[in-house]
Amino acid sequence: MSQQAVNGVSHRGRVLTLDSMNPNVKRVEYAVRGPIVQRAVQIEKELKEGAKKPFTEVIKANIGDAHAMGQKPITFFRQVLALCSYPALLEDSKFPEDAKQRARRILEACGGHSIGAYSASQGIECIRQDVARYIEKRDGGIPSNPDNIYLSTGASDAIVTILKLLVCGEGRDRTGVMISIPQYPLYSAALADLGAVQINYYLDEDNCWSLNITELRRALSAAREHCNPRVLCIINPGNPTGQVQSRQCIEDVIRFAKEEHLFLMADEVYQDNVYAEGCQFHSFKKVLFEMGPEYSNTVEMASFHSTSKCYMGECGFRGGYMEVINLDPEVKAQLIKLVSVRLCPPVPGQALLDLVVNPPQPDEPSYATFMKERTAVLSALAEKARLTEQIFNTVPGITCNPVQGAMYTFPRITLPQKAIDKAKELGLVPDMFYCMRLLDEEGICLVPGSGFGQREGTYHFRMTILPPTEKLKVVLQKIREFQLRFTQEFS
């Protein structure tokens, strides 16, 4: 059998072709792992094979993966998870008592006391209870019902699940989903896959990427001409832009959602990643309930969190959850059906989530180390956020908004007309051309702004602030040098 069958070898022809396949799948793109990453992997291969290049490694600043960039896991979490994986270690005196206690409790809740057993599709009950308690504590006592918590395979899984429930209708009645531009491309990919209508609302680059109700209104009324807008997605803290919404803004969005009868999807996976002075994370749920029963009893909402970001950075565990508010009971029944198809979320990820929402307390042996590690990660990120903004703003042709939160910077680049023309010649979007050149010349992998969406005629790239500080400084320096060279070449 040939590795790749070249043409249809017989009269039979293939069943699955570009023409016969689901047309929606053809429209799916995901820039974070798109063509630039494929090129980066190719270059890494060449380096491995001994090719000579102006750099010795490819720095993958394209993906929000903290451990990949050298960030260390939280010791306590890994201890508990090791104990859960191999319970014989519960006899090992080298593990602290509080870790053993957590592990025993988790194992008790697992079928056959094993993390290898399926859990309920909605997630292990006592973990959902712990998540609810965490939310209550975070939100100043506002009650959270464990029945409204759905554990998931990372936040992405829950986001796609909710979208599946919401997207329906045909033609002019097809569900429209409002998303920010720029946005995290999981949303556009999911909308393409589901055949939903994407409704873009632009964040205000001149005002720190803030969200404007006027702009929401504009986008919504234009959309009403051709679809049925039902959903409003917001990422806070933002990805790729890093803006942290003010409390006032969140209230305005909730009010808007209520007026326009929109389902709110609040992606809050970066809730611990807030750096800028004067900025604070306000959960949508908290603000909703503080606005009183007129809102808290009616606005339908889903908020999402994950174990992949914040200070844990445990992307590989695929842990996450969503909390749904005011969901119609019949819809909830359908939701259960949907999540049951894939059986259950990974149990190690559920266990990890339990530790994130139930970390060491001040009176516990592991507390001091835990706090030290957590603080170190978050303060390093804050420092890198500041450094990145500072350095980029000294580079002619690059302007950078403050990185208020999350893990990325999304600076604007001014490209000379000649470069734009060259890109067109090569059949590339200008910022893709820029990023490909940067990759080839400096071995730095970023994601072009076109992958996230941007105003027509503007160009950006997204870079993570995750490399260790010294390496980050080198990366920033190299980008500066590249920018100057590039501008010179195409002047």
Partner 1 sequence: MAARGLDLILHRAQVKLCDKLQAKTQSDGVRRPYKEVIDVFQGDLHRAGMKPLTFVRQVLAACVYPPLINSSNLPLDVRQRAQEELGRCVGGSVGSYSAAPGIPEIIHSISEFIKRRDGGIPSHPENIYISPGSQWSISNILNVLVNREASPRTGVLIPVPCHNKTVLSITQLGAVAVPYYLSEEQGWALQVEELQRAHESAKGVCNPVALYVINPGNPAGYVQSQKSVLEVIRFAWEKRLFLLVDELYQDCVYGENCEFVSYKRALSEMGPPFSGTVELASFHSVSKGFSGECGLRAGYVELVNLDPAVMKHIHTLFSKDACSPVLGQIALNLMTDPPKPGDPSYLLYKQEIEQIRTVLVHSVKKVHEVVNSLPGFSCPPIEGGLFAFPRLHLTPKAIQKAKELGLQPDTFYCTRLLEEGGVFTGPGWEYGQKEGTYHIRFCIAVPQDVMEELLRRLSSFHMTFMKDFS
Applying the rule CB under 8 A, the residues between 87 and 106 that interact with partner 1 are 89, 92, 94
* CB of 291 closer than 8 Å to CB of 254: yes
Q: Is the Cβ of residue 211 or residue 315 nearer to partner 1 in the bound state?
A: 315
413: nearest Cα among 459, 479, 462, 481: 459
Q: Is the Cβ of residue 174 or residue 258 nearer to partner 1 in the bound state?
A: 174
Phi and psi for 207 in degrees, rounded to 5?
Answer: -125, 50
443 binds partner 1 (CB under 8 A): no
259 binds partner 1 (CB under 8 A): no
Count the neighbouring beta carbons within 10 Å of the beta carbon of residue 26: 11
Q: Specify the stretch interacting with partner 1 by CB under 8 A; choose among 58-66, 136-144, 392-400, 427-435.
A: 58-66
146 binds partner 1 (CB under 8 A): no
114 binds partner 1 (CB under 8 A): yes
* CB of 234 closer than 8 Å to CB of 253: yes
Q: Specify the stretch interacting with partner 1 by CB under 8 A; choose among 5-13, 51-59, 354-362, 397-405.
A: 5-13
The token pair at 77 is: 């979490």
* CB of 173 closer than 8 Å to CB of 229: no
The secondary element (H helix, E strand) that includes residue 412 is strand 412-413
- How many residues touch partner 1 under the rule CB under 8 A: the total is 89
* CB of 244 closer than 8 Å to CB of 404: yes
Task: Tell which one of 46, 97, 116, 137 touches partner 1 (CB under 8 A).
Answer: 116
56 binds partner 1 (CB under 8 A): no
Give the SS3 label for residue 233: strand
Tell me the CA distances in angstroms from 38 to 42, 123, 389, one per residue in order.
6, 35, 28
189 binds partner 1 (CB under 8 A): yes
For helices 125-138 and 347-357, what crossing angle results, to 10°? Answer: 30
DSSP 395: S
Question: In the Cβ-directed half-sphere of 35, how many Cα atoms lie within 13 Å?
Answer: 11
The footprint of partner 1 on residues 148-187 (CB under 8 A) is 153-154, 156-157, 164, 185-186
> Rounded to whole angstroms, how far apart are CA atoms 33 and 30?
6
The footprint of partner 1 on residues 35-54 (CB under 8 A) is 41
Least Cβ distance, residue 154 to partner 1 (angstroms): 6
User: Strand ranges (DSSP E) for 78-206?
Assistant: 149-153, 175-181, 197-202
The footprint of partner 1 on residues 361-380 (CB under 8 A) is none
446 binds partner 1 (CB under 8 A): no
The footprint of partner 1 on residues 236-255 (CB under 8 A) is none
Q: How far is CA 3 from the centre of its chain?
A: 35
Q: Is the Cβ of residue 102 or residue 282 nearer to partner 1 in the bound state?
A: 102
Least Cβ distance, residue 107 to partner 1 (angstroms): 11
85 binds partner 1 (CB under 8 A): yes
The footprint of partner 1 on residues 331-350 (CB under 8 A) is 333, 336-338, 340-349
The footprint of partner 1 on residues 6-25 (CB under 8 A) is 8-10, 12-18, 20-25
Q: Is the Cβ of residue 17 or residue 214 nearer to partner 1 in the bound state?
A: 17
491 binds partner 1 (CB under 8 A): no
Q: Is the Cβ of residue 64 or residue 402 nearer to partner 1 in the bound state?
A: 64
Question: In the Cβ-directed half-sphere of 72, how many Cα atoms lie within 13 Å?
Answer: 12
> Rounded to whole angstroms, how far apart are CA atoms 158 and 305?
9
Q: Is the Cβ of residue 4 or residue 214 nearer to partner 1 in the bound state?
A: 4
Count the neighbouring beta carbons within 10 Å of the beta carbon of residue 92: 11
Task: Tell which one of 78, 133, 258, 386 touches partner 1 (CB under 8 A).
Answer: 78
The footprint of partner 1 on residues 305-324 (CB under 8 A) is 312-318
416 binds partner 1 (CB under 8 A): no
